[in-house]
């Protein structure tokens, strides 16, 4: 499960309001249960069975579905070994299915939301921002050929009919990224059953989901008046869906780890309201040659080792033991620093992590559904 944070609850308000600038503080929040407990319009398409993916078309928008996202995270460093993490996400939110002909210059059935975050690991500082806009008057939108997804000045751009190299650009007065991602030698991974990722028992409680788990990255990160040339690797998750959390579901814990032995590991744990893992939890172990080993809940043991509490008492488990006994893997996954909370319209923890134990590496961790 990755990042079902699109905002159907607030979307009707945004559809008829002026375009919103970057909001650093986001004083209004809703819980994940409020957001994901809302069933989308029944006219939206549902992810019911595996499908044939078509590229480059599927890299673009799918307005027949209620929500989708282009999600990038990465661990980067400077020539002086100054380490930084980043997250850039653009979400599309559908109010009604399709692209209605009655949309006007200022009214649209499609909205976009963006999250930008930079983790300054040396300083232990997390900078994050949120942005909204309707898909009208050129304020936000998506094109397939050439690939371009934009939200004001924030953008994801491909190269003609090719996906790579990808250029990511986003910023605020305080921070910015300008990064180029190459394809590398790791093929795309279709998650779940040939790209159908089931999240719950009900038909259609699923998403279409694929990933690029290790993309060589270089470019510039700006922190205040400091401009840092960086290199490293990024992770790209691509998902679209019209599902909602089931009544017994609270959220998820999602791990994306790039190990120093050139393997990549993704695992998400779906949690019920008692905090227990559900059978829909799953993941993959990707070998250096691109071979994919599916992982079920029975294959992976997750143990919480410690937590961090926000100023208002929300507790996030930021230190973990992750074991895959059949692969002799016994990993300790810890936040690079504790306070990497995304405290915006939907509140969650997402940040850079360090891997030690039987294998070393870096990655990203997302913790959703802890704030009520």
- Span 142-195, pLDDT tens digits: 998 889 999 999 999 998 778 999 999 999 999 999 999 999 999 999 999 999
* Cα–Cα dist 336/363, whole Å: 9
For the ranges 40-54, 116-130, 295-309, 345-359, the lowest mean pLDDT is seen at 40-54
Residue 18 has pLDDT above 60, yes or no: no
**Enclosing H/E stretch for 14:** helix 11-15
DSSP state of 327: G
How open is the CA angle 210-240-101, to the nearest 5 degrees? 140
Q: What b/e readout covers 206-230, taking b as 16+ CB neighbours within 10 angstroms? A: bbbbbbbbbbbbebebbbeeeebeb
CA diameter of the chain: 58
Closest C-alpha to 239, from 113, 368, 65 = 65
Q: What b/e readout covers 303-330, taking b as 16+ CB neighbours within 10 angstroms? A: eeeeebebeeebebbbbbebbbeebebe
| Residues 157 and 167 sit within 8 Å (Cβ to Cβ) | yes
| Residues 332 and 303 sit within 8 Å (Cβ to Cβ) | no
pLDDT confidence of residue 10? 43
pLDDT confidence of residue 25? 38
pLDDT confidence of residue 106? 65
**Peptide bond just before 365 cis, omega within 30 deg:** no
* Cα–Cα dist 36/348, whole Å: 13
Q: Is 187 helix (H, G, I), strand (E, B) or coil?
A: coil
Q: What are the residues facing 252 on neighbouring strands?
A: 270, 368
Closest C-alpha to 229, from 158, 167, 178, 181 = 178
For the ranges 28-37, 102-111, 203-212, the lowest mean pLDDT is seen at 28-37
Q: Helix, strand, coil proportions of the chain in percent (round to 5)? A: 5, 55, 40
On the 0-12 / 13-18 / 19+ scale of CB atoms within 10 A, 69 is: buried
State how far Cα 274 lies from the chain centre: 24
Residue 33 has pLDDT above 50, yes or no: no
| Residues 364 and 353 sit within 8 Å (Cβ to Cβ) | yes
Residues in the chain: 372
Please write the tens of the pLDDT for every residue from 100-122.
555 556 677 889 999 999 999 99
Residue 252 has pLDDT above 60, yes or no: yes
Residue 50 has pLDDT above 50, yes or no: yes
User: pLDDT-based confidence at 17, cuts 50/70/90?
Assistant: very low
Q: Is 326 helix (H, G, I), strand (E, B) or coil?
A: helix
| Residues 200 and 249 sit within 8 Å (Cβ to Cβ) | yes
Helices (H) and strands (E) in the chain, counts: 2, 23
| Mean pLDDT taken over the chain | 88
- Where are the strands (E) in 107-224, listed by range? 110-120, 125-134, 140-144, 147-151, 154-159, 162-171, 175-181, 189-190, 196-198, 206-223
* Cα–Cα dist 187/177, whole Å: 25
**Peptide bond just before 59 cis, omega within 30 deg:** no
| Residues 226 and 55 sit within 8 Å (Cβ to Cβ) | no
* Cα–Cα dist 133/110, whole Å: 9
pLDDT confidence of residue 29? 52
Please write the tens of the pLDDT for every residue from 63-73.
999 999 999 99
pLDDT confidence of residue 27? 41
* Cα–Cα dist 175/227, whole Å: 10
Q: 11-49+57-368 — its CATH code?
A: 2.40.370.10
Query: Up-side HSE of residue 227: CA atoms within 13 Å toward CB?
Result: 5
Closest C-alpha to 170, from 219, 232, 105 = 219
Q: What are phi and psi of 249, to 5 degrees?
A: -105, 140
């Amino acid at each position: 499960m990755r990042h079902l944070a699109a905002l159907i609850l607030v979307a009707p308000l945004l559809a008829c309001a002026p375009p919103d600038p970057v909001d650093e503080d986001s004083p209004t929040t809703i819980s994940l249960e409020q957001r994901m407990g809302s069933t989308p319009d029944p006219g939206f398409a549902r992810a019911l069975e595996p499908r044939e993916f078509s590229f480059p078309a599927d890299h673009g928008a799918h307005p027949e579905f209620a929500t989708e996202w282009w999600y990038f995270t990465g661990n980067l460093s400077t020539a002086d070994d100054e380490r930084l993490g980043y997250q850039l996400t653009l979400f599309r939110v559908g109010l009604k299915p399709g692209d209605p002909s009655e949309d006007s210059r200022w009214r649209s059935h499609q909205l976009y939301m963006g999250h930008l975050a930079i983790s300054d690991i040396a300083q232990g500082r997390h900078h994050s921002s949120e942005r909204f806009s309707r898909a009208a008057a050129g304020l936000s939108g998506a094109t397939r050929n050439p690939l371009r997804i934009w939200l004001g000045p924030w953008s994801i751009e491909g190269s003609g009919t090719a996906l790579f190299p990808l250029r990511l650009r986003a910023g605020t007065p305080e921070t910015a990224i300008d990064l180029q991602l190459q394809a590398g030698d790791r093929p795309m991974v279709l998650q779940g059953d040939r790209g159908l990722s089931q999240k719950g028992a009900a038909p259609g409680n699923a998403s279409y989901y694929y990933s690029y788990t290790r993309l060589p990255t270089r470019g510039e990160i700006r922190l205040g008046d400091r401009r840092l040339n960086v290199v490293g690797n990024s992770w790209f998750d691509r998902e679209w869906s019209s599902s909602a959390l089931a009544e017994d579901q609270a959220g998820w814990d999602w791990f994306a780890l790039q190990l120093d032995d050139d393997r990549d590991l993704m695992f998400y744990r779906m949690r019920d309201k008692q905090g227990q893992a559900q059978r829909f939890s799953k993941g993959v172990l990707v070998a250096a040659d691109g071979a994919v080993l599916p992982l079920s809940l029975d294959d992976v043991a997750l143990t919480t080792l410690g937590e961090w509490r926000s100023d208002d008492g929300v507790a996030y488990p930021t230190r973990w033991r992750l074991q895959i006994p059949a692969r002799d893997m016994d990993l300790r996954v810890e936040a690079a620093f504790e306070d990497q909370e995304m405290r915006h319209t939907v509140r969650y923890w997402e940040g850079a992590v360090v891997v030690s134990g039987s294998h070393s590496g870096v990655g990203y961790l997302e913790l959703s559904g802890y704030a009520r």
